[in-house]
Structure 1
Amino acid sequence: MKIALVGTRGIPANYSGFETCAEELGVRLVERGHQVTVYCRSHHITYAKPYYRGVRLVRLPTIPNKYLDTIAHTTLAALHTLTQDYDVVLMFIAGNSPLSFVPRLGGKKVALNVDGLDWKRRKWPPLAKKYIQFAEWLATKLPNRVITDSRQVQQYYQERFGAATTYIAYGADVLPAPPGEQMQRYGLEPQKYILFVGRLVPENCAHHLVAAFDRLKTEMRCVIVGDAPYAGDYIEKLKAMAGPRVIFTGYVYGEGYQELSSHAYVFVETSEVGGTHPALLEAMAFGNAVVVNDTRENLETIGDAGLTYDGSRGAEALAETLQELIDQPERTEAYRLRAKERVRQFFTWDAVTDEYEALFKRMLDN
């Protein structure tokens, strides 16, 4: 099959979950004999070669603006697909659904992975929230298939729109790394820091952890990995409220990310919106004990393999849960083992690729 992936920033992955999905899925599909193209935003992807790990890259410009970046690039990419002989186009993000009909004009089959309920994010003004909710409805009308990576989101589409969707989980295959340069750089020791990884935007609630950490009775440190464009004010507030044992690393990828993720005492997922959070799954795969904001989506991800805190109470509730784990290292170790086993059973990229490949074949058969 000839397959195009549209709607992400592109690969090599260096931003968020959908970029990682595009890379992990694309590379595995190529290894299975398919021809895969990933559309990349030229100002995000600096990798200059035409192929990456066997995946063809098409770089197109966009408007580098908080509200227009994604839709502008997807518009160009969707139009470009009309000049290509793809069999299947996989689009990402519900907000791109109005463009999912474009490849179909050229005879392509289109699947759309809608992600989480993006209209819940605080960053969107009221008009943008209305657009995203309208786009969710269009997602049930314009593409050939709708994909969700969360059973909770799948249930939402069924109840809200009466629409059947295909559930395909997110994957998490990781390679633990020994302590090295990253930990030395920040003076970190194994099992002596609490870790957060994610975009530093208000709805991801890193402020819960920063404030909770100040309440803990511990000599551990708190490591905040991530950044975000267009969120400078929020990030400055985070840093202003942080104590001296809170470390902000900015973006960390590759071996540095693997190293920090391999040796945390606890990983905390504070986000209050979204579907399946890739950083959470990967933290579990690395063998971390995890504590999550008690959204339905997070509860679905961890099952009985992690702990929760009451997101409505924020830092106060999170501090209580973290203190329990700090005071009970044997319990923490048990949750590490549970987390790793859960990912091994339900969230591998090979299994995810099986599901996507089977879906694409069914779409072409129909």
Structure 2
Amino acid sequence: NNIIVFCRNHNIIKDQRLKEYNGATLVHLPSIDTKNLDTITHSFLSILYILFNNTSDIIHFHGAGNSLLFPLLFLSKKKVIVTVDGADWERKKWSRIARFFLKISAFFAVRFADIIVADSPVAENIYKKRFRRYKEKIVYIPYGANVEKIEEDKEVLKEFNLRKGNYILFVGRLIPEKGVHYLIDAFEKVNTNLNLVIVGDNKYNREYVRKLKNRNDKRIIFTGNIFGNKFKTILKNCLFYVQPSEVEGTSPILLTAMGYGRCVIVNGIPENILTIGKAGIYFKKNDVDDLKNRIELL
């Protein structure tokens, strides 16, 4: 079977765009690079590519936000699968208008897709309760993490003046729902020589990022986006990993941290608690003081 992955032009420098990766064909297409239009415009062009070139029998979309376009595929007889990670319309990053359209998108997803794959039991229950008529389409499929052996890039530790086992780590987009502000507030109350390393960025909300960085605590290190072996080296060598998110599905980063044997602390929302099982620690939902106590415990 042939696999085609559609990639966004602005995410990859032109001369570094691959045509194939691990046996999959990569198709690079443009999009309108704004928070509200990036995904929908890229998906629109991807659907047109599929229809005009008749390249795919099964189409897998990640996120219900694309589903307003699904009627374009209705007469094509192509099978459509959508993976969802919870109630997107509850995420704080979206405006009221965007949340309204996300609710409509969720309906279009269950109406026009053949299968809805939830990445957590919580997401499965949300969709089955909201769309009872289509509950037979909705399934929960758990997944794991890729924790292959790597050749560690020690230079990245030197770059940020880090030592193995001497820092706490967060990885993710710097958006309010990820709860990075809770982590920073709690860390600043802890008397420790450890560093707090924050990997990630957010070009669509520079004001929030500025507020996070506008602290006087020199122990906090912002690295920006890091990928590949550099990212995995930082993850493998942290003392423990913190996932402070307010809204989440099954977090791939959290699973990877656990796969590498790192201790984890998570915000006490159902999705995070279900993910860690008995293999981690959680703090009371959005409670900075409880998070501080958990950090001090470790």
TM-based fold match above 0.5:
yes
**2:8 pairs with 1:38:** no
Cα offsets for 1:61-83 (capped at 9, x unmatched): 11111111111111111122112
SS in 2 for 1:100: helix
* Whole-angstrom CA distance in 1 between matches of 2:69 and 2:32: 17
| Contact preservation (8 Å) 2:120, 2:271 | yes
| Contact preservation (8 Å) 1:182, 1:256 | yes
Residue of structure 1 equivalent to 2:88: 118
- Indicate which of 31, 36, 57 corresponds to 1:62: 31
- Indicate which of 111, 120, 131 corresponds to 1:141: 111
* Whole-angstrom CA distance in 2 between matches of 1:130 and 1:48: 35
* Whole-angstrom CA distance in 2 between matches of 1:209 and 1:177: 30
Cα offsets for 1:232-264 (capped at 9, x unmatched): 111111111250011000011111111111111
1:215, CA displacement in angstroms?
1.0
- Please list, as runs of the form range in 1=range in 2, the aligned pairs for 1:326-341 lying within 5 A after superposition: none
- Please list, as runs of the form range in 1=range in 2, the aligned pairs for 1:43-192 lying within 5 A after superposition: 43-46=10-13, 47-83=16-52, 84-162=54-132, 163-164=135-136, 165-174=138-147, 175=149, 178=152, 180-192=154-166
1:275, CA displacement in angstroms?
0.8
SS in 1 for 2:226: coil
Residue of structure 2 equivalent to 1:29: none
Gaps spanning 5+ residues in structure 1: where?
A: 1-33, 326-366
* Whole-angstrom CA distance in 2 between matches of 1:99 and 1:189: 48
Cα offsets for 1:286-318 (capped at 9, x unmatched): 1110000011110111011100011232x2221
- Indicate which of 170, 187, 204 corresponds to 1:230: 204
1:154, CA displacement in angstroms?
0.2
1:85, CA displacement in angstroms?
3.8
| Contact preservation (8 Å) 1:191, 1:263 | yes
Residue of structure 2 equivalent to 1:246: 220
* Distance verdict in 2 for CA 1:50–1:98, change over 3 Å: same
Residue of structure 2 equivalent to 1:319: 292
1:229, CA displacement in angstroms?
1.8
Residue type at the aligned position of 2:47: A
SS in 2 for 1:188: coil
* Whole-angstrom CA distance in 1 between matches of 2:60 and 2:185: 40
CA RMSD of aligned residues (A): 1.5
1:91, CA displacement in angstroms?
1.0
The share of aligned pairs that are identical, in percent, is: 37
SS in 1 for 2:286: coil
| Contact preservation (8 Å) 1:89, 1:108 | yes
Residue of structure 1 equivalent to 2:174: 200
Residue of structure 2 equivalent to 1:309: 283
Residue type at the aligned position of 1:128: A
1:35, CA displacement in angstroms?
0.3
SS in 1 for 2:221: strand
- Output the TM-score relative to the length of structure 2: 0.93
Residue type at the aligned position of 2:104: F
Residue type at the aligned position of 2:46: A
**2:266 pairs with 1:266:** no
| Contact preservation (8 Å) 2:246, 2:286 | no
* Distance verdict in 2 for CA 1:309–1:316, change over 3 Å: same
> Which piece of structure 1 moves more, 273-282 or 169-178?
169-178
Gaps spanning 5+ residues in structure 2: where?
A: none
1:266, CA displacement in angstroms?
1.0
* Whole-angstrom CA distance in 1 between matches of 2:157 and 2:113: 46
Aligned length: 291
SS in 2 for 1:131: helix
* Whole-angstrom CA distance in 2 between matches of 1:48 and 1:176: 23
Residue type at the aligned position of 2:119: D
| Contact preservation (8 Å) 1:39, 1:77 | yes
- Output the TM-score relative to the length of structure 1: 0.76
* Whole-angstrom CA distance in 1 between matches of 2:237 and 2:204: 31
SS in 1 for 2:3: strand
Residue type at the aligned position of 1:141: R
Residue type at the aligned position of 2:142: A
* Whole-angstrom CA distance in 1 between matches of 2:229 and 2:55: 37
Cα offsets for 1:198-243 (capped at 9, x unmatched): 0011111111111111111211111001111212111111111250
Residue of structure 2 equivalent to 1:364: none
Residue type at the aligned position of 2:129: E
* Distance verdict in 2 for CA 1:177–1:242, change over 3 Å: farther
* Whole-angstrom CA distance in 2 between matches of 1:53 and 1:111: 22
